[in-house]
Amino acid sequence: MLNLLKVIGQRIALGLMTLFVVSLIIASIVELLPGDITQAILGQSATPETVAAFRAELGIDRPAHIRYLEWLKGMATGDMGKSLANKREISDLVGARLSNTLFLGGFAAAIAVPLSLILGLLAALYRNTIFDRGVNLFTLTSISFPEFFVAYILILLLAVKAGWFPGISNVSTDLNLSEKLFRTLLPAMTLTLVVVAHMMRMTRAAIINLLASDYIEMARLKGVRPIRVILYHALPNAWGPIVNVIALNLAYLVVGVVIVEVVFVYPGLGQLLVDSVSKRDVPVVQACSMIFAGVYILLNLVADIVSVVTNPRLLHPR
C-alpha cells in the first residue's frame, strides 16, 4: 500500500511539473501570435498615442515575464482574469463552454467505449474470419482520415443528403436532454469513428494474447464455450491494457474536439479557443489551452495509475 501511494505521489508530482512546463510553452507561443488586439479593436486609423494608452489600459504593455507570473498566480488561485475583447470574466466565458465540451466528449465516450469493447471481443472470438478482417478494415479506414474529413462526410450523407440530422450543432441550456443528444449526435459520431479503432484493436490484441495461456487452454479442454472463455477467463485479466488505452482515448476525446467543434459550430471550449485566437484575446487563449492541457494530463495520470493498480509488478520495476 505504501509503495502504491508513493507511486501515485510521484505521478502527481510529475503531472504538476508537466503542467508547469506546458504553461511556459503556452505563454511563449501566445507571445508569438501575429497581430495586436489593440489594432483589431481600435482599427488601423488609430494614432500611436491612442494605441499606447489602450495597451496600458489593458495591461499588455508590461514585460512578458511579468504578465506570465501574474497569469500563473491567477490560474493557481482560480482567477483566470478578464477577456481583453469584452471585459467579461473568463471563468464565466469558460464555464458553459467547458460543460458543453465535456458533454460532447462524454456522449462520444458512451458510444465509443461499449462499441469498441464489443467489436474487440467479437473480433477476438472470430479472429481471422471475414468479420474480423471487415472490422479491422473499417476501423483502420476511419482512423486514417482526419476528423474534419469524417465530419464533412457525415454532414454530406446524413444532414444534406438524408436530412436526418442538423448540420450545425447549436445547443443551448434551454434544450432538454433528448434534443441536446439529437443535435450532438453527428459530432459524437465523428469522434467515435476516430477513436474506436485504438480501443477495439487493443481489446482484440489483449484477448488474443491471453487465449494462448495455459489456464485458457485448460478451460477449453473442460469444454467451456468460447464466448464464456473470453468473458469470464480472458477479459478479467486483460483489463489492464484495455483500461489504459480507454483512458488515453478519453483524454483525446476531450482535447481533440477543437476541429470537430469548429466544423459543426458547436459552442464548446474548442470553438471559444479558435474565436479567441482570431481576436488575439490572449488571456482567453491561455486559459482554454491550460484547461485542455490539465484535462489531458489528468486523464493520462489516471491511465498511469490504473495501469499500476491492475499490474502490481509495475510497483517493483527491475
Taken in order of first residue, the domains within the chain and their CATH numbers are 2-76 (no CATH), 96-279 (1.10.3720.10)
Taking the model in full, what pTM does it have?
A: 0.78
pLDDT of residue 227: 75
313 has pLDDT over 70? no
> Does residue 90 surpass a pLDDT of 60?
yes
**Which segment of 169-173, 175-179, 233-237, 280-284 scores lowest on mean pLDDT?**
233-237
80 three-class SS? coil
Give the pLDDT band (50/70/90) at residue 284: confident
pLDDT for residue 62 is more than 80? no
> How many CA atoms, within 13 angstroms, populate the side-chain half-sphere of residue 216?
20
Of 197, 215, 207, the closest CA to residue 231 belongs to 207
Q: How far apart are CA 29 and CA 31, in angstroms?
A: 5
Q: At 1, is the pLDDT very low, low, confident or very high (cuts 50, 70, 90)?
A: low
Interatomic CA distance for residues 252 and 254, integer angstroms: 5
Q: Mind listing the pLDDT tens digit for each residue in 238-258?
A: 777 777 778 778 877 777 778
Cα–Cα distance, 270 to 20 (Å, whole number): 21
**pLDDT (0 to 100) of residue 45:** 64
The pLDDT tens digits of the residues spanning 8-60 come to: 788 888 888 888 888 888 888 777 766 666 666 666 666 666 666 766 666 66
Cα(216)–Cα(234) distance, integer angstroms: 7
Highest mean pLDDT among 20-34, 100-114, 304-318 belongs to 100-114
pLDDT(296) > 60: yes
- In terms of C-beta density within 10 A (0-12 exposed, 13-18 middle, 19 or more buried), how is residue 316 classed? exposed
Q: How many CA atoms lie within 13 A of 83 on its CB side?
A: 21
307 by DSSP, 3-state: which? helix
pLDDT tens digits along 202-212: 888 887 777 77
Neighbouring residues of 283: CB distance < 8 A, sequence distance ≥ 6: 71, 80, 81, 82, 83, 84, 90
| Across 296-314, average pLDDT | 73
Per the CB < 8 A criterion, the answer to whether 6 and 318 are in contact is no
Query: If you average pLDDT over every residue of the chain, what do you get?
Result: 79
